[in-house]
A = this chain, B = another copy of it.
Amino acid sequence: MIEELPPNLGEQVAEIAADRSHGASELARRALQIVVTAAREETVEDAGAMRNLLHCLADALIAARPSMAPVYNLMARWREELVQIDEPDLAQIRQQAANSAERIVRQSEQAVAAIGERGAQLVKPGQTIITHSFSSTVLAILEKQRQQQIRVIASESRPLCEGYKLAEQLSAWAIPTTLITDAQLGLFVPEADVALVGADSLLVDGSVVNKAGTYLLALAAQAHDVPFYVCCESFKQRSEDMPPLELETLDPAELGAPGYPYVTVKNIYFEITPAHLITNWIHEQSGT
C-alpha cells in the first residue's frame, strides 16, 4: 500500500529500504522514528484518516526490509498498541501513537544496553574477541569492556566494508584492533578467546540470520574450540506468523567487479548459521 503514502513518507520508506550502513535494530528504531514524526506532523482530515495512514506506513516499513525481524516485530508491537487506541480525537491519536512508538524505541535501546551488560561478562580482561560485520549490540559489549585490555579482530566485511566503521569506533575507544580481510577469518580465529556476532534475525530453530561470512567464522570457531556467541535482542526472533525468510540479494555493482559476458556477480547479504555452531544466544533477558 506504499502507493497510498504521501510522497515525503514514501521517500523515507525508500531510504529505509536502501540503507546498507545500519543494522536491523537501528533500522527498526529509525522506522519507528518515521512513525513518530508522521503521527505528530502529517496533515490529515480526521482521526480515521490518521489511523489509515499510520497502518499504511507500518505496512510499507515492514515490506521495506523483509529479512529484518526487528523491523517486523517492533512495528507489529506498535501496531498492536495503535489498534487499542480507542480515541476519536485526532490530537489525542497523534499523541498516543507517537508516545507508543517512542516507548518502543526506548525499550529497544534498553535491550541493547542490557545485552552490553550481560555480554560483557563473557569477555574477560585481556582477552581477544573476533567479530564479523558491524553489530551495534557487539559494539555495546566491547564498549563496556574497553578499559579491560581487550583486543579485537575485525573483518572488513565485503562488499561495503562495515568492518571499517567498527574499527574506527574501536580505535576512538583506544581498543587495539586488528583489521583483516574476510578471507583471513580462519587464519585469525586461533588468536581469539571468543567470537561475538550480532544478528539480523533468529529463526525458530535457533539458527541465526546475519551478514554473509558469519557461517564461515562459526565453522572456524568450532574447529578451534573458540566459543561463538550470537548477541541480539529478543525481538530479533522470527515467529511462525512472519512472512517467509527471504535472504536479500543486493546490487552486484557493490562488488566493483569488472563485467564479463558469461559472468554473473552475486551479492547476497545474509546467510543462515545453523544452531549447532552457536555456543549461546545472549539477549536482554539471558542468564548471567
Contact = CB atoms under 8 A, between A and B. Distances in A.
Given A179-B264, A180-B266, A216 B257 contact: no
Interface string A261-288: 1111111100100000000000000000
Interface stretch (A33-41, A61-69, A151-159): A151-159
Contacts of A10: none
A177 B198 CA distance: 32
Contacts of A88: none
A193 interface: no
Interface in A148-207: 155-159, 161, 164, 167-168, 170-172, 174-188
Q: Which applies to chain A's interface (DSSP): helix, strand, loop or mixed?
A: mixed
A255 B179 contact: yes
Copies in the complex: 2
Contact of A179 (B164, B187, B223, B257): B257
A210 to B, nearest CB: 11
A257 to B, nearest CB: 6
A262 B171 contact: yes
Nearest to A155: B183
A212 interface: yes
Contacts of A257: 156, 161, 164, 167, 179
A130 to B, nearest CB: 12
A97 interface: no
Interface string A209-228: 00111011001100100000
Contacts of A220: 215-216, 219
Contacts of A155: 183
A258 interface: yes
A182 to B, nearest CB: 4
A208 B158 CA distance: 26
A262 B211 CA distance: 25
A183 B158 contact: yes
B186 A271 contact: yes
Contact of A263 (B161, B167, B183, B267): B167
8 contacts: A132-B183, A159-B181, A171-B260, A171-B262, A177-B260, A182-B182, A186-B216, A216-B220
